């Protein structure tokens, strides 16, 4: 992948350090022109207490795309995250058809669940729709919960390598080319990712020391750093490793501040990410 403009499709949570308020600064810091298509506007992300506003922008996608077609606007990559409705899946499939360059990449973070459960607001069968988007992706970046929901696998917190290999194999049957499965741990002291090539069935792991704190928004920090590195010509495995190291540092940068429970202070670590791309 080379440095040209990309499109990211996900929500704007006005407060909460996730989705577009993470993707835009992180990918831009990586030197990539980052265009946006907001799927919804929320006052905060949905891990805040109920009361957040939610404006669904499904109706805007088609007119925006039609205008882009008139302007011959295309992208080197399309990176999707949190969607505002199931109808957006078909609209995004059309968008990819119309606006992704021939040698471009589709990167799908099926951001919809964690800790064994769907995020508030998604219908129970939403993973089926998300799986249709994953089917056309060059790279998907699910966590274990999302992987389980899209493949009809029982979610487990304790497992062995066979469970992960089975999950990767089922994900590959969705139709994607590569999988970066996040939140993988075979040792209580380590946490990392499994990088899987769906054609060769080769799996590689990358682990960091597990931190005592889990944080909101790290999935978006991870996926955005992955896209930034990948668009700078790094391989999927290198991008997955750089994104993991960056994400760990953003959690470390936030750990001393209990009041900052809703996201991570990724801004402080952007120089580190930029440095890793040199």
Quick check: 47 binds ligand PXL (CB under 6 A)? Answer: yes
Quick check: 13 binds ligand PXL (CB under 6 A)? Answer: yes
Least Å distance between CB 200 and ligand PXL? 31
Quick check: 146 binds ligand PXL (CB under 6 A)? Answer: no
DSSP string covering 41-64: EEEE-TTSPS---EEE-HHHHHHH
The residue among 26 and 277 lying less far from ligand PXL, judged by its C-beta, is 26
The residue among 145 and 151 lying less far from ligand PXL, judged by its C-beta, is 145
Quick check: 38 binds ligand PXL (CB under 6 A)? Answer: no
Quick check: 269 binds ligand PXL (CB under 6 A)? Answer: no
Quick check: 223 binds ligand PXL (CB under 6 A)? Answer: no
Stretch that binds ligand PXL, among 12-20, 146-154, 158-166, 174-182 (CB under 6 A): 12-20
- Measure the CA–CA gap between 227 and 229, rounded to whole angstroms: 5
Taking residue 180's Cβ as centre, other Cβ atoms within 10 Å add up to 25
DSSP string covering 90-134: HHHHHHHHHHEEEEEEEEE---SEETTEEPTTS-TTHHHHHHHHH
The Cβ-side half-sphere exposure at 188, using a 13 Å CA radius, reads: 0
The Cβ-side half-sphere exposure at 49, using a 13 Å CA radius, reads: 0
The residue among 54 and 204 lying less far from ligand PXL, judged by its C-beta, is 54
Stretch that binds ligand PXL, among 11-19, 25-33, 130-138, 229-237 (CB under 6 A): 11-19
Taking residue 57's Cβ as centre, other Cβ atoms within 10 Å add up to 17
Least Å distance between CB 224 and ligand PXL? 11
Quick check: 251 binds ligand PXL (CB under 6 A)? Answer: no
Least Å distance between CB 187 and ligand PXL? 26
Quick check: 217 binds ligand PXL (CB under 6 A)? Answer: yes
Pairing verdict, β 178-184 and 139-140: parallel
- Measure the CA–CA gap between 82 and 40, rounded to whole angstroms: 9
Quick check: 46 binds ligand PXL (CB under 6 A)? Answer: yes
> Which are the contacts of 49, defined by CB distance < 8 A and separation ≥ 6?
none
Pairing verdict, β 34-44 and 6-15: parallel
- Measure the CA–CA gap between 112 and 88, rounded to whole angstroms: 14
The residue among 104 and 263 lying less far from ligand PXL, judged by its C-beta, is 263
- Measure the CA–CA gap between 250 and 248, rounded to whole angstroms: 5
Query: Which of 104, 127, 192, 219 forms a contact with ligand PXL (CB under 6 A)?
Result: 219
- Could you tell me if 231 and 1 are in contact, meaning their C-beta atoms sit under 8 angstroms apart? yes
Stretch that binds ligand PXL, among 67-75, 215-223, 225-233, 254-262 (CB under 6 A): 215-223
Quick check: 211 binds ligand PXL (CB under 6 A)? Answer: no
Quick check: 143 binds ligand PXL (CB under 6 A)? Answer: no
Quick check: 262 binds ligand PXL (CB under 6 A)? Answer: no
Quick check: 111 binds ligand PXL (CB under 6 A)? Answer: yes
Q: Would you tell me which residues interact with ligand PXL (CB under 6 A)?
A: 11, 13, 18-19, 42, 45-47, 82, 111, 119, 217, 219-220
């Amino acid at each position: 992948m080379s440095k040209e403009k990309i499109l990211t499709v996900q929500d704007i949570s006005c407060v909460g350090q996730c989705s577009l308020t993470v993707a835009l600064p992180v990918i831009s810091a990586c030197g990539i022109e980052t265009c946006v298509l907001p799927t919804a506007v929320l006052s905060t992300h949905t891990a805040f207490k109920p009361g957040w506003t939610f404006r669904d922008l499904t109706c805007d996608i088609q007119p925006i795309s039609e205008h882009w077609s008139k302007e011959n606007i295309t992208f080197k990559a399309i990176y999707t995250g949190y969607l505002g409705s199931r109808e957006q899946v078909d609209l995004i499939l059309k968008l990819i058809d119309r606006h992704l360059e021939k040698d471009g990449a589709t990167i799908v973070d099926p951001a919809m669940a964690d800790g064994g459960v769907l995020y508030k607001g998604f219908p129970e069968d939403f993973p089926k729709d998300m799986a249709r988007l994953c089917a056309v992706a060059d790279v998907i970046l699910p966590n274990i919960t999302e992987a389980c929901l899209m493949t009809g696998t029982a979610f487990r917190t304790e497992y062995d390598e066979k469970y992960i290999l089975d999950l990767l194999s089922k994900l590959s049957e969705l139709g994607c080319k590569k999988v970066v499965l996040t939140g993988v741990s075979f040792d209580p002291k380590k946490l990392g990712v499994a990088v899987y090539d769906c054609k060769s069935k080769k799996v590689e792991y990358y682990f960091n020391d597990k931190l005592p704190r889990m944080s909101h928004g790290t999935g978006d920090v991870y996926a955005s750093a992955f896209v930034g590195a990948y668009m700078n010509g790094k391989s999927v495995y290198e991008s997955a490793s750089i994104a993991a190291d960056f994400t760990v540092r953003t959690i470390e940068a936030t750990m001393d501040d209990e009041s900052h429970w809703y996201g991570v202070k990724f801004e402080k670590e952007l120089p580190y990410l930029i440095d890793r791309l040199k």
